[in-house]
Structure 1
Amino acid sequence: MDLAAAQQVLKTTFGYDEFRPGQKAVIEQVLAGQNTLAVMPTGGGKSLCYQIPALLFEGLTVVVSPLISLMKDQVDALNDNGIAATFINSSMAYREINQRLQELRAGDYTLLYIAPERLDSPQFIQALGNLPIKLLAIDEAHCISQWGHDFRPSYLALSTAIEQLPTQPQVLALTATATEQVAQDICQRLQIAPDNEVNTGFARDNLDLSVVKDQDTDQYILDYLAANAAEAGIIYASTRKEVTRIAALLKRHHIQATMYHAGLDDDVRRKNQEDFLYDRVQVMVATNAFGMGIDKSNVRFVIHAQVPGTLEAYYQEAGRAGRDGLPSQAILIYRAKDIQIQHFFIDESEMDDEHKHRSYHKLQLMTQYANTQGCLQQFILKYFGEASEPCGRCSNCRDDRAAQDITTATQKVLSCVVRLHARFGKGVVAQVLCGANNQRIRDLNLSDLPTYGIMNGQRQKSVTELIDFLTATGYLQTQGGQYPTLAVTKNGVAVLKGQTQVYRKTAQTVEQAAPENDALFEQLRTLRHNLAEEQHVPPFVIFSDKTLHSMCERLPENDEAFLDVKGVGASKLEKYGETFMETIRAYAHQPATAN
Structure 2
Amino acid sequence: MAAPSANCEDERYCMALSAYNRQHKKDIKEFKPLQQKALDALVGGADCICCLPTGFGKSQVYEMLPFVDPNSLVVVVVPLNAIIAQQIQKLGSMAICLSKGKDLPTNHIADGTVRYIFTHPEDILNNRKITDFFRQDNVKRLNTYLVIDKAHFLKELKHMGASFPITVIYCKSIQWIGYGYEMARQILEDSFYAGEKTPENARVVMFHSSMENSSGKLKDMILGKLQTPPETCCLRLVFASVALGMGADLKHIQRVIHAGPPTTLETYVQEIGRSRRAESQAQAILYFNNNDLAVAHMQTNMKEYCRSDKCKRLLINEYFGFSNTSKPKICCNVCQPDLGLEWKFTQLSLYGILPT
TM-score (norm 2): 0.50
In the alignment, which residue of structure 2 is the partner of 1:108?
113
Give the equivalent residue in structure 2 for 1:547: none
Q: Are residues 288 and 249 of structure 1, via their aligned partners in 2, closer, same or farther at CA, if it must alter by over 3 Å? A: same
Q: What amino acid is the match of 1:392?
A: E
What's the offset of the Cα at 1:8?
Answer: 2.5
What is the 5 A alignment of 1:312-323? 314=257, 318=259
Give runs of ≥4 in structure 1 deviating > 4 Å.
231-249, 286-291, 301-311, 329-333, 337-340, 395-399
Q: Which amino acid aligns with 1:85?
A: A
- Percent of pairs identical after alignment? 16
Distance 2:331 2:35 in 1: 35
Q: Secondary structure at the residue paired with 1:86?
A: strand
The whole-number CA distance in structure 2 between the counterparts of 1:290 and 1:15 is 35
Give aligned pairs, total.
243
Q: Report the equivalent of 1:121.
A: 127
CA–CA distance in structure 2, aligned partners of residues 19 and 304 of structure 1: 40
Distance in 2 of aligned mates of 1:339 and 1:133: 59
Contact preservation (8 Å) 1:234, 1:302: no
Q: Is the 8 A contact 2:97 2:119 kept in 1?
A: yes
Q: Displacement of 1:113 after TM fit?
A: 0.9
The correspondence for 1:149, drawn from 148, 153, 172, is: 153
Equivalent residue, structure 1, for 2:188: none
| Alignment-derived partner of residue 86 in structure 1 | 96
Tell me what 1:16 maps to.
28
Asked if the contact 1:78–1:84 (Cα under 8 Å) also holds between the matched residues in 2, the reply is yes
Q: 1:125 Cα deviation (Å)?
A: 1.4
Q: Which whole-Å CA distance do the structure 1 matches of 2:130 and 2:279 have between them? A: 42
Specify the code of the residue in structure 2 equivalent to 1:41.
P
Question: Residue 406 of structure 1: which of 315, 325, 333 is its match?
Answer: 325
Q: Which amino acid aligns with 1:39?
A: C
In the other structure, the counterpart of 1:335 is 275
Structure 1 CA distance for aligned equivalents of residues 57 and 30 of structure 2: 12
Q: Distance in 1 between matches of 2:75 and 2:277?
A: 44
Query: CA 1:304 to 1:33, structure 2 compared with 1: closer, same or farther past 3 Å?
Result: farther
CA separation in 1, counterparts of 2:84 and 2:14? 30
Query: Matches of 1:64 and 1:105 in 2, distance apart?
Result: 20
TM alignment of 1:254-293, pairs within 5 A: none
Residue 73 of structure 2 corresponds to residue 64 of structure 1: no
Of structures 1 and 2, the one with the larger relative CO (CA 8 A, separation 6+) is 1
Q: Give the AA of the match of 1:88.
A: L
* Counterpart check, 1:4 vs 2:14: yes
**Matching of residues 19-98 of structure 1 within 5 Å:** 19-20=31-32, 22-57=34-69, 58-68=71-81, 70-79=83-92, 84-90=94-100, 94=101, 97-98=102-103
* Secondary structure of 1:5's aligned partner: helix
Letter in 2 for 1:5: M
Alignment of 1:192-207 (within 5 A): none
Alignment-mate amino acid for residue 114 of structure 2: Y
1:138 aligns with 2:161: no
- 1:363-401 Cα offsets, whole Å, 9 max, x none, are x6xx2436xxxxx569xxxxxxxxxxx962549668722
Q: Which runs of 5+ in 2 are unaligned?
A: 1-10, 157-167, 185-192, 194-198, 223-234, 289-301, 337-355
**Structure 2 CA distance, aligned partners of 1:287 and 1:70?**
25
Residue identity opposite 1:119 in structure 2: L
TM superposition shift of 1:128: 2.4
> Which residue in 1 is equivalent to 2:351?
none
Contact (CA 8 Å) 1:65, 1:114: kept in 2 or not? yes
Deviation, structure 1 residue 98: 2.1
1:392 and 2:304 are equivalent in the alignment: yes
> Tell me, which stretches of 5 or more residues in structure 1 are unaligned?
153-216, 222-227, 262-285, 292-300, 341-363, 371-375, 379-389, 411-468, 478-505, 507-595
Residue 47 of structure 1: CA displacement?
0.5
The Cα shift of 1:60 comes to 1.4
Alpha carbon RMSD of aligned pairs, Å? 5.3
Give the TM-score normalised by the residue count of structure 1: 0.32
